[in-house]
């Protein structure tokens, strides 16, 4: 029949772009949202799911009647399950236990087998969803791993579909893209295609507090990841599908601001978006505030509110987790840094003895370590104690032998909410402004600030 699609897979793509009118009314740039949750599988991941299956079929790795296995937060699984249903494949998905019940139930509705694994384990742990997925491939006849974290078909799908679609829809009148970073497929593929068309276009990544991407982008080092409530993006390792060469900036978001922004966008703009969409929109507004001449900004809205009704859009769940409580409003890190004194630091070639003398002289307990003007580590009292236990020669050791990397970098314009969530993860927090260290913030600094503010 005229106007119909042969299968539901032909309906993937051509999602609309709509302007934000209320929540971004105060910023000069125009912010638009590409509603990827209007794909038939409910998310942006319909695109890579179809490309992955197509490429596996072409290579001969996926045989008729075979089984597709994937470690997923839910959305890629939905795209794979939808395509597998049309093409006659079986599916097995492995998911972390923090994912919403709606995602698990949706996958099972397709007849998929779903295994739920612990969230707070290292990627190499045999209980992690990565390792369990690999084991299921080994144990299942004619099974293949979709492998979205390392499969070039993932970013390829956005080079072939999403990128050209955005370029055609906008007539090239797009100046910046704001995209959540998970596997890296969306941001890498869009960055490759759109920068090829318009080199001046800015690609801005969005990363949740607890993930490693923000600090990696700022410092080039991989930090210790911590748990967070947001689903579907952020990582505790570097997927090979993540290409930082196309990323111009990264904004960091907290669980709370992401959830509250998602609720606000649904109620004020009528856009039925989920938590990662709330994150991306919050980040886009923050970035627009700092870049008033940014022009036209497009935000990718990955999925919808329907997958978070039992969490983000449940007032009881929000209250139980403390997300409905008043916060520090518009307070910025710079408000706290302004109260601090001189920042002391040491070069990587300094000795343990030098640091001991500095700490004694200035009454401080931790010092950032710099190399070529860049923060490469922290050394604190615990690190020094460990060094001194090595014997009398320890005082001559370079601090680079004893520094630790469990710190996070923030900028003066970051919100105090970001700072609070980092300190709860027991990280040392360094404040950098244009690459220069301007402050170190401890838990007691934060506590004193909040206490003083409440008086």
Output the six-digit token pair for 360.
């004694």
pLDDT at residue 376 above 90? no
pLDDT tens string 265-324: 999 999 999 999 999 999 999 999 999 999 999 999 999 999 899 999 999 999 888 888
pLDDT reported for residue 444:
73
Give 339's pLDDT tier (boundaries 50, 70, 90).
Answer: low
pLDDT reported for residue 129:
80
Using CA atoms, how far apart are residues 406 and 291, in angstroms rounded to an integer?
30
Instruction: Check: CB of residue 320 under 8 Å from CB of residue 326.
Output: no
pLDDT reported for residue 208:
94
Looking at residue 303, the DSSP 8-state letter turns out to be B
Using CA atoms, how far apart are residues 191 and 159, in angstroms rounded to an integer?
9
Which residue ranges make up each domain of the chain? 1-325, 333-453
User: Rounded mean pLDDT of 409-426?
Assistant: 78
pLDDT reported for residue 65:
94
User: Rounded mean pLDDT of 40-50?
Assistant: 96
Give 38's pLDDT tier (boundaries 50, 70, 90).
Answer: very high
Domain 333-453 is found in CATH 3.10.20.30: no
User: Rounded mean pLDDT of 97-104?
Assistant: 85
pLDDT at residue 454 above 60? no
Q: Could you list the active site residues?
A: 45
∠ CA 126-132-133, nearest 5°, is 145
Instruction: Check: CB of residue 151 under 8 Å from CB of residue 166.
Output: no
What one-character-per-residue DSSP string does 119-165 give?
SSS-TTSTTSHHHHHHHHHHHSTTEEE--TTT-THHHHHIIIIIHHH
Give 206's pLDDT tier (boundaries 50, 70, 90).
Answer: very high
- Look at 13-17, 306-310, 328-332 and tell me which has the smallest mean pLDDT: 328-332
User: Rounded mean pLDDT of 250-274?
Assistant: 95
- Look at 100-104, 180-184, 309-313 and tell me which has the smallest mean pLDDT: 100-104
Give 418's pLDDT tier (boundaries 50, 70, 90).
Answer: confident
What one-character-per-residue DSSP string does 389-433 give?
TT-GGGGGSBGGGT-B--EEEE-TTSBHHHHHHHHHTT-EEEEEE
Instruction: Check: CB of residue 262 under 8 Å from CB of residue 312.
Output: yes
Give 328's pLDDT tier (boundaries 50, 70, 90).
Answer: low
Predicted TM-score of the model (pTM): 0.82
Instruction: Look at the domain 1-325 and name its fold.
Output: Rossmann fold (3.40.50)
- Look at 111-125, 168-182, 400-414 and tell me which has the smallest mean pLDDT: 400-414
pLDDT at residue 16 above 90? yes
Instruction: Using a pLDDT cut of 90, give the percent of the chain over it.
Output: 57
pLDDT tens string 148-179: 999 999 999 999 999 999 999 999 999 999 99
pLDDT reported for residue 163:
98
Q: N- to C-terminal Cα distance for the chain? A: 70
Produce one character per residue of 255-266: b if its CB has 16 or more CB atoms within 10 Å, e if not. Answer: bbbbbbbbbebb
pLDDT reported for residue 330:
67
pLDDT reported for residue 127:
84
pLDDT reported for residue 414:
79
pLDDT tens string 433-444: 877 777 777 777
61 phi and psi angles, rounded to 5 deg: -70, -35
pLDDT at residue 75 above 60? yes
Instruction: Check: CB of residue 279 under 8 Å from CB of residue 234.
Output: no
pLDDT reported for residue 361:
80
Which residue has tokens 């001991």? 356
Output the six-digit token pair for 259.
């959830």
User: Rounded mean pLDDT of 38-61?
Assistant: 96
Other beta carbons within 10 angstroms of residue 341's beta carbon come to 8
């Amino acid at each position: 029949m005229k106007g119909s699609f042969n299968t539901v897979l032909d309906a993937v793509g051509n999602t609309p772009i709509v302007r934000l009118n209320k929540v971004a009314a105060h910023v000069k740039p125009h912010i638009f949202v590409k509603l990827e949750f209007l794909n038939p599988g409910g998310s942006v991941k319909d695109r890579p799911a179809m490309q992955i299956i197509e490429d596996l079929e072409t290579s001969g790795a996926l045989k008729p009647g075979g089984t597709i296995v994937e470690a997923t937060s839910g959305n890629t699984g939905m795209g794979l399950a939808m395509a597998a249903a049309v093409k006659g494949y079986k599916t097995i998905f492995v998911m972390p236990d923090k994912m919403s019940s709606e995602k698990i139930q949706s996958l099972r509705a397709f007849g998929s087998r779903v295994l739920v694994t612990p969230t707070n384990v290292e990627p190499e742990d045999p209980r992690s969803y990565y390792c369990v997925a690999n084991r299921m491939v080994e144990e299942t006849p004619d099974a293949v791993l979709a492998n979205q974290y390392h499969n070039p078909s993932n970013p390829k799908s956005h080079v072939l579909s999403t990128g050209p679609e955005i370029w055609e829809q906008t007539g090239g009148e797009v100046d910046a893209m704001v995209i959540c970073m998970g596997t890296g497929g969306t941001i890498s593929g869009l960055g490759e295609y759109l920068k090829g068309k318009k080199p001046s276009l800015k690609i801005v990544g969005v990363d949740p507090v607890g993930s490693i991407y923000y600090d990696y982008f700022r410092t080039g080092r991989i930090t210790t990841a911590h748990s967070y409530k947001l689903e579907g993006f952020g990582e505790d390792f570097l997927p090979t599908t993540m290409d930082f060469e196309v990323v111009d900036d990264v904004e960091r978001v907290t669980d709370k601001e992401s959830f509250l922004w998602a609720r606000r966008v649904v109620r004020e703009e009528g856009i039925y978006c989920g938590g990662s969409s709330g994150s991306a929109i919050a980040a886009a507004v923050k970035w627009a505030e700092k870049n008033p001449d940014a022009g036209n900004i497009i935000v990718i809205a990955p999925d919808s509110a329907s997958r978070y009704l039992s969490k983000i859009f449940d007032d009881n769940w929000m209250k139980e987790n403390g997300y409905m409580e008043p916060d520090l409003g518009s307070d910025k890190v710079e408000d706290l840094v302004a109260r601090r004194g001189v920042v002391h630091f040491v070069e990587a070639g300094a000795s343990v003895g030098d640091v001991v003398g500095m700490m004694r002289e200035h009454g401080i307990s931790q010092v950032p370590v710099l190399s070529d003007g860049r923060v490469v580590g922290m050394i604190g009292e615990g690190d020094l104690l460990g060094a001194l236990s090595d014997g009398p020669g320890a005082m001559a050791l370079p601090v680079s032998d004893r520094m630790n990397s469990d710190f996070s970098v923030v900028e003066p314009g970051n919100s105090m909410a970001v700072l609070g969530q980092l300190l709860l993860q027991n990280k040392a927090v360094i404040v950098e402004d244009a690459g220069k260290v301007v402050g170190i913030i401890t838990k007691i600094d934060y506590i004193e600030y909040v206490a003083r503010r409440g008086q």
